[in-house]
Chains A and B, each alone.
Chain A
Amino acid sequence: MEAKPTAFQDILIDNKDKIYRICCYYLSDPEDRKDLYQEILINIWRSLPSFKGKSKLETWIFRIAVNSALGFIYKEKKRKDKNDVSKDIVDIQIESNQSKMDEEDKYQQVLEAINCLKTSDKVLISMYLENLSQKEIAEISGFSESNVRVKIHRIKKILTRIVHTKEKKNGKV
């Protein structure tokens, strides 16, 4: 009877930071991150009885987190416009935001850039950044492994371009 709470506690202890980081990839507003974090935990709790151990626990958690994040995004009507931002707008936003940029600021800006990527790009890059293998990403998303590889390469290029634009703007290059 007490197996579910114990399993849930173990999951939470081992994965809470990872779950929070997923919230950070998808959303920039701290309040929204808090709500999504809570929602992911609730969905993990509700899905626990159906976990049969066929996939790795980490993959299973990621699947729930990604689906919860997508559910959260499409229910948040006010988010709609923000999520449809094209990468050009991302560049503009990043460029206009910067002044003095040390390394940490730069990473923070990259994280903000990730927040503004297309939802499909966010899904893939978030898993890549959490060190999931291409096989695992394919398993979670439903894409083929080769698609995952090409897509991640493309997203990395977009992000690198953003960082370079920022560095140029700051006269670092």
Chain B
Amino acid sequence: MEKFKKYLKNIKVPDSPDFVNSDENEMNQFIQKLKIQDQKDRKNLKNFQVFFIIVLIFYFGLFILNPDPYLTIIDRLVGSFFVIAFLLFLLFLKRHISSYTSIKYDEMMLLFLKKAEKRYRFLLEDSYILIPFLLLIDVGSCTAFVVNYWPAQYGFISGILVFQVIFALIMSLGLIIAKRKWRRNKSEIYYSIKNLINEFQMDNNTVS
């Protein structure tokens, strides 16, 4: 084994332009590329945040500050539900994006793998943030639907029930599409991380 270790010491980075080597120009070019990429990433994240804040301000103005006399209290209430729901969704997205952009590669391996496994789950750990978001959208849309579009002679209760059925169907459809997308894009990675963690933990237990 010691001879093999000595042999390994002779393995060097290939002297090829494909590999960043100790050459100063090459290294400076690589560092420059990294700096540009870092700036791009930061800019994209900032643009994304600015976009959502602008939309949020727009909706706030449209539904809450708007002096239009035809805008009823119910409309304003529904609007505030949407604004709050949108704010919650923005927080969720921000958390979600930062969990991808701030992956810590210098963590202990098992911890790194466990965090990766959480990132690739179908239902993320912080998905609970979406429950109040969905409730607010549901209540807001349901109120708007019953007040503005549902014929009064059928009664409010039946209007609410019809809307809840439609809402549940749309949500279920969304869930099915999301699950299919996850299966196609992420499930394989998720299960291979899970297997790897099991492999490590099994080895750990066997040895213990």
Contact = CB atoms under 8 A, between A and B. Distances in A.
Q: Which of B21, B110, B204 has the most CB of A within 10 A?
A: B204
B108 A151 contact: no
B12 A63 contact: no
Interface stretch (A93-101, A139-147, A164-172): A139-147
Given A107-B4, A119-B199, A151-B203, A70 B109 contact: yes
A24 B110 contact: no
Main secondary structure of the interface of B (DSSP, over half): helix
B138 to A, nearest CB: 37
A9 B31 CA distance: 9
Contacts of A5: 28, 31
A67 B107 contact: yes
A73 B109 CA distance: 14
A123 interface: yes
A54 to B, nearest CB: 10
Given A41-B30, A70-B196, A24 B109 contact: no
Contacts of A129: 4-5, 8
Contact of B11 (A24, A44, A80): A24
A9 B26 CA distance: 11
Interface in B157-208: 188-189, 192-193, 196, 199-200, 203-204, 207-208
A70 B113 contact: yes
B125 interface: no
Interface in B1-50: 1, 3-5, 7-8, 11-14, 18-22, 27-28, 30-31, 34, 38
Contacts, number: 125
B21 A16 contact: yes
Given A16-B13, A77-B188, A142 B109 contact: yes
Given A20-B12, A71-B116, A120 B203 contact: yes
A70 B116 CA distance: 10
Contact of A142 (B1, B3, B111): B111
Interface string A77-115: 100100000000000000000000001100100110000
Interface residues of A, number: 60
Interface string A109-133: 0110000001110010000011100
A45 B110 CA distance: 22
A17 B13 contact: yes
Interface in A43-83: 43-47, 50-51, 60, 63-64, 66-68, 70-71, 73-75, 77, 80
A17 B12 contact: yes
Nearest to A16: B13
Contacts of B27: 9, 12
20 contacts: A20-B13, A21-B8, A21-B11, A37-B19, A41-B20, A46-B38, A60-B106, A63-B108, A63-B109, A67-B112, A68-B105, A70-B196, A71-B116, A129-B4, A131-B5, A140-B108, A143-B204, A147-B203, A147-B204, A156-B1
Interface of A: 5, 8-9, 12-13, 16-17, 19-21, 24, 34, 37-38, 41-47, 50-51, 60, 63-64, 66-68, 70-71, 73-75, 77, 80, 103-104, 107, 110-111, 118-120, 123, 129-131, 139-144, 146-147, 150-151, 156, 159
